[in-house]
Amino acid sequence: MLTVLQAINLSEEYLKKKGVESARINAELLLADLLKCKRLDLYLSFDRPLSEEEKAQYRSFLARRAEKEPLQYILGHSEFFGLDFKVNPSVLIPRPETEILVETIIKNHNPEDSLRILDIGTGSGNIAISLAKNLHGSKVIAIDISEEAIELAGNNAKLNEAEDRTEFINFDIETGKLNTLGTDFDIVVSNPPYVALDEFENLQQEIKDFEPKTAVTDFEEGFKFYKIIAKSAPDILKKGGSLYFEVAEGQSPKVEKILTQNKFVNISTVKDYSNINRVVKGVYK
């Protein structure tokens, strides 16, 4: 007989040996998902024995995590801004720092205003859907080059009851013209691929081996999509409209310069909880 507590302890030891960070938390989250309960509920069920089927499934989960497959892909979902999103290897896993981007936009705008928002590189739809849920008067159009991502984002909109105020479109910003999507947006937002190609190999194995490379790096110096979007955004923003970017550590000065070169004013930055400049905002004059 293998109890919940025994399974957690053995799994923590196994994952530690495999070099998995936060091994116990990972072990608990995988088991809680398998048993369809909250992680804290496991502490009320330490003596509960696992069935043979549960043990087999748990071993499968642990083997995948030991190979550094991200926890969120194994579980098939990820929490972001208080909402649940389905995720798979076709999309980047939503990050806590991206919540700063969403939070900044929500703070800067009236929830009841009729806002038209364009989300570029939507992935799982986490930014678009979070904005639609919190800016009640908004209509969000979200684009991505990946057809698989667009399909998943649409499913996430239904899951979070936001399909009436979101629209997901397969679109390549390198070849397509943004003004075909409209010319009256109040907000353009993007968390683009910003890791420089020469830095890609230094990333965690979970990112390098499992997350979509096209969502992580621009295969150049990390500024390619900031330049493309900043150049095109004036064609689709209303006068006084805002452009919001998420940026990596150390990128904000260069991104601020890119915005200045493309007629944006009142440029400002917002720090994340690690005191890193994480959001850059500009207003189209």
The tens digit of pLDDT for each residue in 80-94 reads 999 999 999 999 999
Average pLDDT over residues 157-171: 98
pLDDT band with cut points at 50, 70 and 90 for residue 285: confident
For the entire predicted model, the pTM comes to 0.95
- Whether 151 has a pLDDT exceeding 90, the answer reads yes
- Whether 272 has a pLDDT exceeding 90, the answer reads yes
What span, in angstroms and rounded, lies between the C-alpha atoms of 127 and 232?
A: 20
Average pLDDT over residues 41-55: 95
- Whether 155 has a pLDDT exceeding 90, the answer reads yes
What does the block give as tokens for 152? 């998943």
Average pLDDT over residues 42-52: 95
The tens digit of pLDDT for each residue in 190-212 reads 999 999 999 999 999 999 999 99
Query: How much is the mean pLDDT over the chain?
Result: 97
What span, in angstroms and rounded, lies between the C-alpha atoms of 207 and 200?
A: 9
pLDDT band with cut points at 50, 70 and 90 for residue 188: very high
264-282 exposure pattern, b = at least 16 Cβ within 10 A, e = fewer? beebebbebeeebbbbbbb
Contact indicator for 195, 248 with CB cutoff of 8 Å: yes
pLDDT at site 142? 98
